[in-house]
Structure 1
Amino acid sequence: MGKYSIKELEKLSGIKAHTIRIWEKRYKVITPKRTPTNIRYYSDDDLKKILNISILNNHGHKISKIASLSTSEMYRQVAELSTEESNFELLIDELTICMIELDEAKFDKLLSNYIVRFGFESTVTDIVYPFLEKIGILWLSNNITPIQEHFISNLVKQKIIVAIDGLAINTQKDADKIVLFLPEEELHELALLFFNYLLKKIGYKTFYLGQAVPLRDLEEVVKALKPRYLVTCITYFPKGESLEEFITLLSEKFHNSELYITGKPVFDLDIKFPKNTHIFQNAKDLKNIFYLKS
């Protein structure tokens, strides 16, 4: 069971901590618990309720009316809203609740419905990515378990793989080749998988190597394929090692290719990158760059 501070509830729900405290006292919508050292905290059930209250309140329902609803009635009204509205924040909150409950069937159904309504690409960029950023708060506060992380990652991964399989393969011999890889110890591949989808959809000949690729193996692949571009994402880099030196090494070893890199540790570097190394912000940025090149 998760234990959330009021600040974490504020970040996840968008409701100010001051407002949550007023609603606690006036409407008894949730009741915080206390640790043995008298520190207030909130449970998973409290978070789910606050998320649902936030959804209804943001759609014009007065808090006094919401507070009078039973939990099941509140959930029913939220479900009705989600089928009528195209508000992405509402849909992101729905996915968050499914994750907390480990409700695989509902999570999968919601994702499938979003894909039908908004298209695969928009679902990932406008709903899934912001959702993953939002639950990053749960990772940072240790309120998400490895089970929940794997549950979410695998379901989203399945959708992306199915979408990639549905794309045509470029069979032209002179088509530009792109190798996508994650460095050693880098395991978070959802973003890279989606990059593969976007680049393949544009019409590039992509070669997806996946997570934790040893540098020696990457050298062999590049030597054999001679790709014009390399694309990677760095979200983790071992302490005590130099990310700047690693990027310089990549640029030197693969000097005949253009290297495209993204990831927060890369953004935080205050350096002049090598000539054949380019930094991009996100999936939309990558799509725009390579669409213009095609």
Structure 2
Amino acid sequence: MSNEIAATNTQQAAFTTQRVTFQSAGETIVGTLYVPTGVDAQNAAKAVVVTGAWTTIKEQMPALYAERLAQNGMVALAFDFRTWGESEGSTRSLENPEMKITDIEAAGRYLASRAEVREVHGLGICASSGYMATAAERTDIFRSIALVAPWLHNQPIVEAVYGGQDGVNGLLETARNAKATERSTGEPQLITAGGPEGSDALMALDGYYSDPSRGMIPEWENTFNLASWTGWLNFDGVRAASGINEPTLIVHSEAAAIPDGAKEFYESLTAPKSQVWLDGVTQFDFYDQANGVDPAIEAVTAHFERS
């Protein structure tokens, strides 16, 4: 039997979905709101902003986690960041940490405005963990946050991952050239985001991003804007830890991406904190496989309920 978790049929599940829109920095964000059956203005519930890995959209791993949280009685919001999916943006497929942090804050405020919402929590998966952590550091929107399979890098980790200072400088030069070309032509400089091993994709890895039954879904543009390297490589997701006041949970595995960043982040946390480390669970397992998603949802749900 496959270990993959199939998407829930909303007509059979104990929740309904709504297409919603809200504003972030003057642009329209499109999201899907998951509301448990029986939750309304007279019976408000906890709510969670759910964000996914870099380059991804709301229909990928955020949808699965939002569905599972809704099944556990929590309102959940998955949305497309600006320049991704259905949301607006002046360019396309731009992995811009500052923009995404702003969008998370806007999503949290939107959830807090809903009559069926009692309080707001945040769940960041993979790269968006750093964005979620920074939004929590900067605002008091979230009652607590949880980070699943967090990709949390700082400058030493960036250099280790991307070929040292020379490798980083080369990618920053690529970004500068891409920005200049887009300014002169009006066309964003896009490459393929995900593909099979041996391809020329940014993430040339067999599995989630190259499998049509998993992350390679029709809604995904599967592109990466080369101008993204500037913001991505200069972003420090570890730094926010010391300024976070909200109770924080980390769910990770030594077999997943850059566990050292998560450990450094956790050590720097002064807020109430807890962690769950799973054995042999890969980064992609956390996106849609039972061995990653099931224990992550169990831990995250318990964390939000205690908070």
Q: TM-score, normalised by structure 2?
A: 0.35
Question: Is the helix fraction higher in 1 or 2?
Answer: 1
- Higher RCO (C-alpha 8 Å, min separation 6): 2
Query: Higher strand fraction: Structure 1 or Structure 2?
Result: 2
Which structure: larger Rg? 1
